[in-house]
Structure 1
Amino acid sequence: MKMSGLLNRRSNDLAGVVGTVRQIRAGSPVPRKLGAKDVAVLDLNRTPAATARAVVDAAVAAVVHVPRSGEEMLPRAAFRILAASTIPVIEDADLAEIEDGTRVRIDEGVVYSVKNEDRLASGREAGPTTILTEVDAAEAGYVESALAHLANATEFLSLEHRLLLDGEGLPDIDVAFTDRHVVVVTGDPSSEAQLAGLKPFIKEYRPLLVGVGGGADLLRESRFSADVVVATPTEVSDEALTDGAVLVLPADRDGRAEGLERVTDLGVGATTFPAAATARDMALLLAFHGGAEMIVVTGDDRGLENVFAPSSAPSSTMVDTAVSSRLVHADACSTLYRSRGTGIGLALVVLAALIAVAAVVVARDSAQDLLIWAIEAWNTFALWVQGLVR
C-alpha cells in the first residue's frame, strides 16, 4: 500500500506525507509537543512500549525506524503497537544524522527535503502485515541466537571455570589492582565518546587505565597513559606498545600468541595470557582477581538488545557474571559522576552565599554574634555537603 493511500496530506501538490523530523534517541523522553505534523525518527529495537504508545497517541505523520548499522530486527513490543495503528512505518531510511526540526516529505519510502526537494534517504514502507511477519520471524531468530549463544557460553564455562571462579591461570604481572578503581577502555566505536565522559572521573580518582585492543591507542589519543595494555600486537600502534604500559598478549590455551614477534622486534617485554576468552574479558578478570574495588568498562552495554548478537562473545556473558559485583558500565559511571559533580557545585554556590551573608553580619553586628552565627551556619552547611557525597 502506498503512503499516499494511507494519509491524504500534500505539500505544494506533491504526493506523500509532510512533517517535521523529531529525533527520539534511545532513553530520551518523547517530545511534549509531538503531534500530527511531525515525523518520529527512532530505533524501534531500543524503543520501549510506553514510548511507542506515546508516539501512536500523538498521531504523528509517520515513523522512521533507524536501527544500528548491520543490526537485525529485535522482537520489541513497539513494532506490534505501531502495526496496530494507522501510522506509516518506514524502514531502512537512514535519517539518524538529519537535524531535529528539518521539514521532510516522504513518498513511497523515499525521504525528500521540503526546502529544496533533495533526496535525503531511501527506504521502504512496511504495512501492518509486513511488520507482524517480520516480528514473528525476529522472535524465532532471537530465541535461536540465545540458545546458540548460551550453549557456547556453557562450553566456555566448562573449559575456564577455574579461571573464572578462582583466577587460576592468570598471568603474574607487576600491577597493583588491590583496592583501586580500574577503567577498561575497549576499541568499540562507542568508547571514544564514553572515554570523554569519563575524563572528570579519571581526573579525580586517578584509576588504573587498561587499554584493550584499539582502546590502547584511544587512550593515547585522549592524552592518557595506559597502565596495562591487553591486545594482540598487530591491533595497536608501536607507540602504544612502547609507551611503558605492562603488555599482556592474549594467547590460545596451548600458549600460542599472535604477533609475539612484533613485540620482540620492538624490544619490549610482554606476558602471555592463555585462555579461551577475548582480550576484554582477560582485562576484566585481571582487574577482578587482582582485587580492584570497582571496574568501569567502555563499549556497548550487554543488555538483551546486544548480548545475543553475532558479534557478542559468549565468553563475555560468563566473565561479566563472574565480575558483576564490581562491574560498572562507562555510561552509568559518567551519569553518577555528573550528578555528584552537580551537587558539589551547588555546595560551592551555597558556601559563597554564606560568605556574603557573613560580610553583612560583620558590618552590622558584634564579633560575638558573628561567631555564633558562623558556627551554626557552618555546621548546617557541613552536614548538608556530607549528605551530597555519601
Structure 2
Amino acid sequence: MSIMNWSSLSLFSSKPLPLCKGKISVGAITKVLLRDLPPGRIVVIQHRDLDEVVAQELIDHKVKAVINCQITMSGAYPTQGPLMLLQQNIPIWEAEAAIFQDFIPNSEIVIYEDRIILEDRHISCSAFTREKWLNLQQLANDQSTRLLEQFIENTLTYAMREKKTVMEPLPLLSLRTNFEGKHVLIVSRGKGYKKDLLAAKAFIAEVKPILIGVDGGADALLECGYQPHMIVGDMDSVTDRALSCGAELIVHAYPDGTAPGLTRTNALGVFAHVLPCFGTSEDAALLLAFEKRGEWLVTVGAHTHMIDFMEKGREGMGSTLLVRMKIGARLVDIKSIGVFYKKPYVWTKEACSTVFLSLFFIGLGLFQLHWILKRVTHVVWKLGGQG
C-alpha cells in the first residue's frame, strides 16, 4: 500500500513564493545609473531620501522593483518619491548598506518577503510599505516649522558670505552661441520638468529661443525633439549622447577652477569651456545667459523652494536667492508665460469625423422635414380641392 506524500502537493506546501525576480542594474549614484538604464530591470541603489524627480525617472524607465541599500525615507522632510513608486506597483525593499557591493550587475536575483536570493547567498531585506511612508510623512510634517527655520538661517548666512561674489562678472568666455537680444529657455532636472517642457512646445515654436540644458536637462530637450544650443553643468547626469550632440559645452567648475566634469568630456573627446562659478549649475547657466545679454530667461524645472533643495542635499539656497535678485524681472518660469502660448487647435481625424457625421444627420433631418412638409401640403391641397 502506497502512502501519499501530502507535503509534495502545492495546495499544502508551506514554501513561500517569490515576490519578484529578474536581472539587476546596480548604481551607487542613481542619476548616473539612469543614463543608460534598460527597461524591466530590478535596480539596486544607494539613495537616501528617494526624491520625486528620481522616482519619476525610475517610473519612466519601467523598472520592475527597487532595492535601496540606504534609508529610503528618513522623515527629515516631506517627499512623495517612495509613494509615487508604490502607486505604480513598483515595490521597494531596503537592505543593509554594507551588502551593496555584493550585488553583481546583470546578475539574476529572486526576492521573497524578507530576503533576497543572490546566487547561493541569502540577503536580509524588508519591504518599504505605504504605511511606513505615511508614518514618516507625518513625522516630517510635524517638524516642518523647525526645518524651515534652519533652512532660512542657512540661506541668509551663505547669501551674506557670497553677496560680493554675485556682483562680480563671470570669467570671459569666447562662445559661438550669440545670446544678445534673444530669449533663452533653460531646462533643469527639477520636479515636473518633462511635463513643463512639453507644455512649452508652442512657446518654443513661436519664439525660437536659445535652448540650454542644465546637465540632464539636455537629454529632456533631445527626447522632445529639440537640439540644445548649449549644455551647462558638472556633467554627472547628462548622457554621452547629449554630450556628443553638437551643443556648446560649458563645464561648471568650483570657484577655484577645479572642474571634475572635464574628465568626462575629455574621455569623450569633445571640447568644453570651463566656467568657474559659485552656486549650482542652474545658477551658473542663468548668470551666463544674463551676462551675455539674453532677453527673457525662461526656466523649466527650476529649483525654487525648500524641498527642491533638500532633495538635492542642499540645506539652503543662498546662491539661488542672490542670482534671482541680480537677474530681476528678466527671469520668468514657463508656467507663468505658457498661458500666452497655447497650442492652436488642430483638426484631428476624430474631430473631422464628428463634424461630418453631425452635418450628415442634420442634412438627413432637414430632408425628412422637407418630405413631411411636402406630404402635409399635398394632403391639405387635396382636402381643399374636395371641399
Mapping of 1:197-208 within 5 angstroms? 197-208=199-210
Q: Is 2:153 aligned against 1:144? A: no
What does residue 323 of structure 1 align with?
327
* Paired position in structure 1 for 2:365: none
When normalised by structure 1's length, the TM-score is: 0.51
Q: Aligned in 2, Cα 1:125/1:224: closer, same or farther, shift over 3 Å?
A: closer
Alignment of 1:284-303 (within 5 A): 284-300=286-302, 302-303=304-305
Q: CA deviation at 1:98?
A: 6.8
Q: Deviations over 1:48-70 (max 9, x none)?
A: xxxxxxxxxxxxxxxxxxxxx87
1:194 is paired with a residue whose SS is helix
Give the deviation of 1:326 after TM superposition: 0.7
Aligned to 1:113: none
> For the residues of structure 2 that align with 1:302 and 1:92, how far apart are their CA atoms?
18
Instruction: Give the alignment partner of residue 275 of structure 1, picking from 277, 301, 316.
Output: 277
Look up the match of 2:183. Answer: 181
Shift of 1:322: 1.2
What is the CA distance between 1:276 and its match in structure 2?
1.7
For residues 327 and 224 of structure 2, the distance between their equivalents in structure 1, rounded to whole angstroms, comes to: 27
AA aligned to 2:201 is K
Q: 3-state SS of the aligned residue for 2:255?
A: coil
Choose between structure 1 and 2 for higher RCO, CA contacts under 8 A separated by at least 6 residues: 2
In the alignment, which of 231, 241, 245 is matched to residue 229 of structure 1? Answer: 231
- Distance apart, 1:162 and its partner CA: 3.2
Aligned to 2:216: 214
In structure 1, the partner of 2:337 is 333
CA contact (8 A) 2:252 2:261 kept: no
- Aligned partners of 2:344, 2:160: CA distance in 1, in Å? 42
The offset of 1:140, in angstroms, is 2.8
| Pairwise CA distance, 1:318 | 1.0
- 2:200 aligned counterpart, secondary structure: helix
Q: CA deviation at 1:331?
A: 1.7
8 Å CA contact 1:190–1:300 kept in 2: the answer is no
Within the candidate set 161, 168, 177, 2:166 is matched to: 161
Counterpart secondary structure, 1:122: helix
Contact 1:94 1:122 in 2 (8 A): no
Alignment of 1:78-157 (within 5 A): 94=83, 121-122=130-131, 137-157=143-163
How far residue 148 of structure 1 moved from its aligned partner, in angstroms, is 1.4
Gaps of 5+ in 1: 1-68, 75-90, 100-119, 343-390
Q: 2:107: which partner in 1?
A: none
Q: What runs of 5+ residues in structure 2 fail to find an aligned partner? A: 1-72, 89-128, 346-387
Q: Partner of 1:287: helix, strand, or coil?
A: helix
Taking the aligned partners of 2:282 and 2:134, their CA distance within structure 1 comes to 40
Q: How big is the shift at 1:202?
A: 0.4
Q: Percent identity?
A: 26
> How many residues were matched structurally?
230
Aligned counterparts of 1:124 and 1:168: Cα–Cα separation in 2: 44
State whether residues 181 and 292 of structure 1, in contact with CA within 8 Å, keep that contact through their aligned partners in structure 2.
yes
CA deviation digits over 1:93-117, x for unaligned, max 9? Answer: 9599879xxxxxxxxxxxxxxxxxx
**What is the CA–CA distance in structure 2 between the aligned matches of 1:93 and 1:266, rounded to whole Å?**
35
Contact 1:177–1:208 under 8 Å retained in 2: yes
* Alpha-carbon distance in 1 for matches of 2:270, 2:81: 48
The equivalent residue for 1:243 is: 245
Q: CA RMSD in A?
A: 3.6
Larger-Rg structure: 2
Once the two structures are superposed, residues 192-221 of structure 1 have per-residue CA deviations (whole angstroms, 9 ceiling, x without a partner) of: 111111011101111000010101111111
The 1-side partners of 2:270 and 2:82 are apart by 49
- How has the CA–CA distance of structure 1 residues 70 and 245 changed in structure 2, closer, same or farther, with 3 Å as cutoff? farther
Moved more, 200-209 or 184-193: 184-193
Q: Structure 2 vs 1, CA of residues 249 and 306 (structure 1 numbering), >3 Å: closer, same or farther?
A: closer
For residues 249 and 188 of structure 1, the distance between their equivalents in structure 2, rounded to whole angstroms, comes to 19
- Deviation, 1:146, is 0.8
Q: CA deviation at 1:254?
A: 2.0
Separation (CA, whole Å) in 2 of partners of 1:93 and 1:285: 34
User: What is the TM-score normalised by the length of structure 2?
Assistant: 0.51
Amino acid at match of 1:122: E
Pairwise CA distance, 1:122: 2.6
